[in-house]
Structure 1
């Protein structure tokens, strides 16, 4: 019986090849489909962020918000949509493997299109949520708008007040974030079943959100939303003191600490040592 038993577990060596294949497919995807998938990913993640913040405020438990936040990642992953944090990890692997048609220019093209799609999707939801909370901007946004406004100020001007060390703090938080998020994406590939993928993603995504690490796409919703609701900082503050260092940190965290590690040790495994007897 054991000979015929099947498992949905994918071995790390096979996983590493799947990651390179996924990077290649994302580079070769049409502009239209890349933008659509990125737009939907940004919008779904923005809704999940709004949901998690609302839950945290209404229950008084940030942990409860963090426990439920991964639903957004899970949905967009299962539906085949793309986040900037994911392509930061996967796409360069196809370049390293010298896949046909994959060049530095094509990698940068993919990142640029996904950034645009994610941003437009996240801002779309920011406008929708702000409209709903204010009855078409005819009244205040209440506790949720006030909370997000405080988050926006603390995570822009708050970092700026510490100068260059504040910039590097958010950069490192970006690294830690995508170390976890990319781990979740890779771990989801370890299973061929939907339930296996869901559980594999849940823990690292919950960890990053509860720990307050910085995710470039989540922030594409939070900060425009805070600005729409009257947050006391500027769009330039957001770009220079949040989005830029966060995105760079996300790139390092996802590519170096997850993608390259898997690529080097499982895809390009070094020869085994010969024991001297």
Structure 2
């Protein structure tokens, strides 16, 4: 059968056809399988490995708070300053993802795909174990870095004030707003993970683009937000009940819904539909 009947452009040499084939983007099923295998590896990791990686990720995510606080402290208070200060938000995400530390919202897609592919009670227990350890480790890390930033003489008064304003901005949301914005945030992180799997060479730019717009939209994220709101609580400007019930619980549920029940389920359904 000739090239025309195959639907191919006539006149291509075998080498040119090979070049075309190599430059095709990976099929969705390939990306799905790549992330599923990563999820399998995460589910099999030991408790100690998960804990220390999650704690390190929480500490590292404090870089987002520090970067935004420093930028805010050095920017004039004008309407466009948020466009620049939001560039600090991706710093923590880049450090955590490139260092391959355990971030809770990443697990809402990578660790869920193996269960969707082959459901079992054993895998569900593994997922809940993973989520529990990573979430607690992340929160412990962010609260620890918030405590350090607050109590050690690291920054000037202007920067300390900027940290407080960041937390106060988050707490302007009510519980339902935290939940709704958390859905979008979880969906954006899941999208980022999916995109990274197919564009490894553009990983940094994908992380920057997605998380920058998360910051611009003031979408709530359970890990970054726990550093921001945690600083506020530790400074005596908010209460622990507000931290847990106004911020943390609604944001956590929103992140899980956005990352797992919207993006991951739809992506998995697409693969199932494409697979004979």
Structure 1 residues 7, 101: CA separation in 2 closer, same or farther (over 3 Å shift)?
Answer: farther
Q: Hey, what does 1:261 align to over in structure 2? A: 266
Counterparts of 1:87-166 in structure 2, within 5 Å, are 87-98=107-118, 102-133=122-153, 142-156=157-171, 158-159=172-173, 166=174
C-alpha RMSD over aligned residues: 2.4
Greater Cα offset, 147-156 or 216-225: 147-156
Taking structure 2 as the reference length, what is the TM-score of the superposition? 0.83
Q: Secondary structure at the match of 1:230?
A: coil
Give, in whole Å, the separation in 1 of the partners of 2:138 and 2:224: 9
Q: How many residues align?
A: 256
Structure 1 residues 245, 11: CA separation in 2 closer, same or farther (over 3 Å shift)?
Answer: same
Taking structure 1 as the reference length, what is the TM-score of the superposition? 0.83
Give deviations 1:102-151, integer Å, cap 9, x for gaps. 5222211111100111112212211221233468xxxxx62333333344
- Alignment partner for residue 218 of structure 2, among 212, 219, 224? 212
Give, in whole Å, the separation in 1 of the partners of 2:165 and 2:97: 30
* Shift of residue 70, structure 1, vs aligned partner: 1.5
Q: Hey, what does 1:174 align to over in structure 2? A: 182
Give, in whole Å, the separation in 2 of the partners of 1:78 and 1:247: 23
Runs (5+) with no aligned partner, structure 1? 136-140, 160-165, 273-277
Give deviations 1:27-85, integer Å, cap 9, x for gaps. 11111111121112111111122212321331232211222421321221122111111
Q: Secondary structure at the match of 2:152?
A: helix
Contact in 2 for aligned 1:23/1:93 (Cα 8 Å): yes
Give, in whole Å, the separation in 2 of the partners of 1:225 and 1:218: 11
Q: Hey, what does 1:251 align to over in structure 2? A: 256
Runs (5+) with no aligned partner, structure 2? 1-14
- Alignment partner for residue 235 of structure 2, among 229, 233, 253? 229
